[in-house]
Structure 1
Amino acid sequence: MSTDQFEDEYTRQLHDLIDGRMSSGRNLATAAARVRDAREALREQEKSYTVAYDDALRAGWTDAELKRVFKDVGVEAAARGGRRKGTSRRRSSAATTAEPVEPVEEQPGPEITPGDTAA
């Protein structure tokens, strides 16, 4: 076998290995793009669902009624702005907006040694 044939054989084998890896890499890239697109589509549908849910509330349905009727659909009640349960609003007060206070310098006090007792 000549040197050229020898190099060609190894080059072919290396390309076969690379081709297999590239194929799986392309498949992964395609799957990742599909997941990204599906997530974006889900976000858009959730926005649409929230609008429809709010429309139903404005039309006179109560939150409790909608939750009861649609509980078996597998879609929770639309998340509509506001705060989550258990969180509170941040309040503006003088305590939170006051100017910072300068630290007080500590004054040296009497030295206390072991055995001293408080009077």
Structure 2
Amino acid sequence: MSTQLDPERAAHDARQLLDERVNVVRRLATASADAERAREAAEQADRDFASTYREATQAGWTEAELRKIGIPAPKRRVPGRPRKQPAKAGTAQTEQGDNQNQ
């Protein structure tokens, strides 16, 4: 009985094993791309929802009314005008001190 290794058969077997691994990587890459597209679509949907929710509140709907009809507040708000920053305590004291010294 001969136990000689047939180079062609060995190459064929190795190629099959590699093909299986390559196919898994191909499916993995596809799944990764699908997941990324889904994340981007979900982020866009969240932005659209937040924007439309803001339109509803600007049109006079209150958060309580919207909640009562089954529409929750968005998890993320659409950026609007920057809020006015309160005066810093140190700045007000400095200005008062400067006025008293004059």
The TM-score with structure 1 as length reference comes to: 0.59
Q: Give 1:81 shift.
A: 5.6
Runs of 4+ in 1 over 3 A off after TM superposition: 91-94
Q: Give 1:28 shift.
A: 0.8
Q: Write the distance in 2 (CA, Å) between the matches of 1:15 and 1:26.
A: 16
Q: Write the distance in 2 (CA, Å) between the matches of 1:57 and 1:17.
A: 60
Q: Write the distance in 2 (CA, Å) between the matches of 1:28 and 1:92.
A: 53
Q: Write the distance in 1 (CA, Å) between the matches of 2:26 and 2:14.
A: 18
Deviations 1:14-34 (CA, angstroms, capped at 9, x unpaired): 010010011011001101100
Q: Which runs of 5+ in 2 are unaligned?
A: 80-84, 91-102
From 69, 77, 80, the equivalent of 2:77 is 80
Q: Between the two proteins, what is the percent identity of the paired residues?
A: 30
Measured at CA, do residues 92 and 12 of structure 1 come closer, stay the same or move farther in structure 2, by a change above 3 Å?
farther
Q: Which runs of 5+ in 1 are unaligned?
A: 83-88, 95-119
Q: Give 1:67 shift.
A: 1.4
Q: Which residue of 2 aligns with 1:70?
A: 70
Q: Give 1:92 shift.
A: 4.3
CA RMSD of aligned residues (A): 2.6
Structure with higher Rg: it is 1
Larger RCO (CA within 8 A; separation ≥ 6):
2
- Note if 1:33 corresponds to 2:13: no
Q: Which residue of 2 aligns with 1:106?
A: none
Q: Which residue of 2 aligns with 1:9?
A: 9
| Alignment: residue pair count | 82
